[in-house]
Structure 1
Amino acid sequence: MASVTVKQPCTKCDKGGGVATCGGCQQCLCVKHFNEHRQELATEIDNLGEERDLLQRNLIEDIAAYDFPSYVNDWEQKSIAKIQAAAEQARIDIQKYLDDKKQQLKTSLAQVTNELKLGRQSNDYTEIDLKKWMEQMKQIRETLENPSTILIIDDNNTESIIHLIQVKQTETTDRAIRSLEEAAIVTRSGR
């Protein structure tokens, strides 16, 4: 017996037998609707191609719009300016400290010189005076020869890559200079 083939109707028009089945959507279509279906798919692929082209243009334009190298260059220049400002302030602080220290030592030495001169002129000095003046001059010499009385402090902030520095005077320097000044005051008031 011969087998009877039942044709499925077109899913679009429900008429006649579908002569083709779409491999994607598995619909059975007549010739007319199969051609329309293929045209719709061709239109969709053209639209996808245009969208891809638009995305490609936008991608190139957007990357060019972000001027990352310029941002990094600006950050670099600002960081360098901060470092230079900190270095200049450190130089100013060191020079001011050295100038102040030099002036204080000159003042202390002038006071000892004046006391020596007065002691010679009046010829009323004793071994105690000589010992005190020698001690004062020794302290002046030690202060002059030991410039390590300032500290350069590294601002070691762990959140920052760039560490700034500060200049600080140590307490021993302040004490040594005050000691010289107090000795000179005592000598002047004792005379």
Structure 2
Amino acid sequence: MASSTISSKLLCVICNKGKGSFKCEGCSQMFCPKHSNDHRNELSKQLEEIVITHDLMQQTLIQQIEDPQQHPLLKKINQWERKAITKIRKAAEEARNKLLITTTEHTTNIKQKLKNLSNELRQGQEDNDFIETDLQQWTQKLEELEKELHNPTTVAILEDSTPLITKILIAYHDTYDVFERVCGNAQIKENGCLIVKDGSTDQAEIRGKNEYNIGRHKFSFQIEQLTSNEWIFFGIISKSEPMRAYSFSSGSSYGWSNQGEIYIGVTGQNTYPTLTQHRSLTISL
């Protein structure tokens, strides 16, 4: 009978003994008094590790707030800048070396031509044997040599159409947006998360708070109430377009209506699923 009672007890998961065992509510395992203390100490160590991780993260956050230049993404930009500068300097050095070789040959050629002209001038002075046409020829040669010295015709600096470095861009993907501006008979409620249109048939335009110029963005929304004879349009538009009730017809508008239409500027095409009441939708732009 005693043996049956002992075997029915829940035993310690560590030492397999049942005396004084109790259940941990966190992991649902049984421990004897000794190993329950060990288990509690292990939990305390885990908590200490979490606190250390928290403190390190808080320290990193404070450092980024106090010194934004230490942000990891800014470091990536700095790295891109260093690589770009290295590429530019390397390309410039290669171009300089090639140009020096070419200009050395060019100046050597001009030097020889100038030497020949010097001999002609000296000979003319010594012999006192020259006329107007000689002076004109020597003057013309000097002008040509000077022009060739400062603006050589045998070499030119050109820029390759292939970009040496790629332009760095910032793609901001946080598409949490709220409604901010209204034109027409509508109201913004619940901190910009809800639009309520009055019962009139007049058109209204509502715009969000954020602006987007690059990247792909997703927007999720739900139409709570929309009768069959009502019309709604969801899309994007240039921020330079003034707000007006019929903004869907603007040249920069792009979006979808509940009539199954895609609007590109002022035209509509029936090729998109309809926006219906109580339907949750996610649109990518």
Coarse TM-score class (shorter-chain normalised): 0.3 to 0.5
Taking structure 1 as the reference length, the TM-score comes to: 0.37
**Higher helix proportion:** 1
Q: Which has the larger radius of gyration?
A: 1
